[in-house]
Amino acid sequence: MTLSLLAASACSSDAAGPPIDPTPPGAVVVEVVPASAWLPVGTTLALNATARNVTGGAVSGTTFSWSSSAPAIASVSSNGAVQGMAAGVARVTARAGTLSATSEVTVVGTTARIPTFGVEHEGVTDVSLLGIWYDAASGEGFAVGQAGVVLQGKGGSWRLVSTGSKETFVGVWGTSARDVYAVGTAGAIWHYDGTSWIPMPSPTGETLLDVFGLGPSDVYAVGTNGTVIRFDGTAWSTLTSGRGWELWGIWGTSPNDLWMVGQNGVVVHYDGAQFTTLTSPTADALFGLWGSSSNDIWAVGINGLLLHFDGSAWQLVPPVTRRNLFGIWGRAANDIFAVGNTGAVLHYDGQQWSALGNSGTGQNLRAAWGDEAGGVVLAGWDGTVLRGTVATGWHAEITSPLLLSVWGAGDGTLWAVGGGGSIYKRTGPQGWELTRTPPSQPLYGVHGASPTQVYAVGDTGTILRYDGARWSPEPSGLNFLLRSVWAADPTHIFIVGEGGVILGSTGNGSWTSQASGTSAFLRHVWGLSPTEVYTVGDSGLVMRFNGTAWSKMPTPTRQLLRGIWGTGPKDLFAVGDSATILRYDGVRWYAMPSPVNKTLRGIWGTGPTDVYALGEDGVIIRFDGATWRALASPTTQYLLGLWGEPGQGRIFGVGLLSTILRGERN
């Protein structure tokens, strides 16, 4: 609204009676913030009045008089503090001379009970697991990864073991469950003796990338700068270093027949006396190495790279995937597995390699090893360990992806989506279970029009749709990160993402780009109807769709905005970085004070006097119509998504480490 229009409306019928003070010199308009408000009975809200000149600047020294059209509903003090007295609507007016402006105050007679939040689901570790080894004799497995993490498992149950190391463990191998070695950054070597993990003196400060042995007194580790070290049962010593090779894998048949592969396609052989660099058919990185004999050795690498050594020469094998491969292990020459990015699992049957289809995860997989029952265990990002066979497929025994969005249709089923293409489903008090989905990139948003029309969106243009029975991909035609989805009804669905991308669909599986007029990253989309849709994003951006076109709305911040929600066109909220909270009162967006100095990621509510936001360090805050207050939180995990179960009174928040909170009104 322009200042001239505001000035014209300021002299409306609300300005009854003669002014008690002269109009401030230079003032042409008075504004009251907020222009609309909802208050529970007994709650007080401070209204702010400002006189402005023709350029929009504030006129200092202005004195205002305040009045209420219905003091029995909403009383107002001389300084603009409004108190809810009884249910109803009152117009509170601020006057300065001949100028005036009003705020429409709705007083509600009932208030929602404040919920208590508890942890309903939480993972174990979300670090990337980079190595795995399994002792078939005892049925005990070891998976290692970032920040000195070790997972030990037996019978499908895994526990987090504290080693005390801050180094990243990249490789693990053992002779038995009581003789296990883990190696990693800064030359770290740790040994497990069946009771505890103990650091070993290391002869190098180079990063060690793999460990392999032939027996308790013959263990080898390789790493950066051509480092190869050996343990003789008593101490580790350096065999070679300073060669410049970055060695990622080691395997061999004897102390005089050891093979190593690494960066730039390097292939090195050690005959017990000297190291020889062999001719390699590739200059691309090789990450994994395994063989069944000295004349049957396989190496894997980037872009689905497969190399085979037949005893005479290394040769390229036609790839069956373009995904990077990192780990390889085999039970026999005709039963070999390779794993890699976005859940890739390959199998070699002695004749050919084949992709095994859906591994049940989109996590990047880094290592594989056989178990005691003829199966294979796989390790990867977000603390993921899978187990399975070629015949049965794979299931996650442990995984802790971050969860970014949660939504439910009100039928008792809720969905939460996140890292590695993970989709969790809640069907009742029994809790959450990981759902098998098509191979997918990380998912960032979920929303639907009904229990049988749900959408999940994510990286590289990913769109998945649930039809009540299964999830299936829909082509977006884009390679952009899609951040958020909102369904107004079955025939009006909106998606936003990076680069100002906005997609729309009528629910027929086809998506059309809409002109946004911006290249900013759009972080969240939500609306009141198909003709009243909002999206927020970087640099304080808020945009509105009126059913025909998108347009920008002025805001008072340049902070990144991450979530938007509201009850109507005169009551919208947006939250974002640096504790930013904005509200739209039907006239303008204005800043609200936050009770926490944390980034806020999600917002949702049941009504104007019951609004919630959550974010960094597990903070949860609530707005009662007048004030935002911090609530007790059962977690310090970063919370990223928020949703209330329609008609059930329960509120759910999701975040890092697969954390899912449930709020119940006691």
Q: What is the pLDDT of residue 491?
A: 98
Exposure b/e, 482-516, CB count within 10 A at least 16 = b: bbbbbbbeeebbbbbbbebbbbbbeeeeebeebeb
Do 301 and 292 meet the contact criterion of CB atoms below 8 Å apart? no
DSSP state of 580: -
pLDDT at 105 over 60: yes
Q: What is the pLDDT of residue 9?
A: 36
The average pLDDT across 186-192 equals 98
Q: What is the pLDDT of residue 108?
A: 96
Q: What is the pLDDT of residue 162?
A: 87
Q: What is the pLDDT of residue 436?
A: 79
Residue 315: both structure tokens together: 């040769």
Residue-wise pLDDT for 580-622, tens only, equals: 999 999 999 999 999 999 999 999 999 999 999 999 999 999 9
DSSP state of 390: T
Three-state DSSP state, 95: strand
pLDDT at 8 over 80: no
Question: What CA–CA distance (Å, rounded) separates 561 from 536?
Answer: 6
> What is this structure's pTM?
0.92
- Sign of the CA dihedral 506, 507, 510, 516? positive
Residue-wise pLDDT for 70-96, tens only, equals: 999 999 999 999 999 999 999 999 999
Do 586 and 36 meet the contact criterion of CB atoms below 8 Å apart? yes
Residue-wise pLDDT for 475-522, tens only, equals: 999 999 999 999 999 999 999 999 999 999 999 999 999 999 999 999
Residues of the chain with pLDDT > 90: what percent?
Answer: 91
Do 113 and 121 meet the contact criterion of CB atoms below 8 Å apart? no
Residue 600: both structure tokens together: 């806020």
Q: What is the pLDDT of residue 666?
A: 79
Q: What is the pLDDT of residue 427?
A: 86
Q: What is the pLDDT of residue 1?
A: 39
Q: 């004030």: which residue's tokens?
A: 627
Residue-wise pLDDT for 131-184, tens only, equals: 999 999 999 999 999 999 999 999 999 999 989 999 999 999 999 999 999 999
pLDDT at 295 over 90: yes
The average pLDDT across 21-36 equals 92
pLDDT at 3 over 60: no
Residue 404: both structure tokens together: 């970014």
pLDDT at 531 over 50: yes
Do 64 and 94 meet the contact criterion of CB atoms below 8 Å apart? yes
Average pLDDT, the chain: 94
Residue 63: both structure tokens together: 């004195």
C-alpha angle with apex 239: 233 to 243, nearest 5 degrees?
150
Residue type, 279: T
Residue 662: both structure tokens together: 């449930």
Q: What is the pLDDT of residue 15?
A: 42
Residues of the chain with pLDDT > 70: what percent?
Answer: 97
- Dihedral angle, C-alpha 478, 533, 421, 657, nearest 10 °: 140
Taking phi over 0 as left and psi of -120 to 50 as alpha, with beta for the rest, 404 belongs to alpha
Q: What is the pLDDT of residue 250?
A: 98
- Domains observed in the chain: 3-108 (2.60.40.1080), 134-398 (2.130.10.10), 401-665 (2.130.10.10)
C-alpha angle with apex 469: 467 to 475, nearest 5 degrees?
45
The average pLDDT across 320-324 equals 96
> What percent of the residues of the chain are helix, what percent strand, and what percent coil, each to the nearest 5?
5, 55, 40
Q: At 228, phi and psi to the nearest 5? A: -135, 120
Question: What CA–CA distance (Å, rounded) separates 457 from 445?
Answer: 5
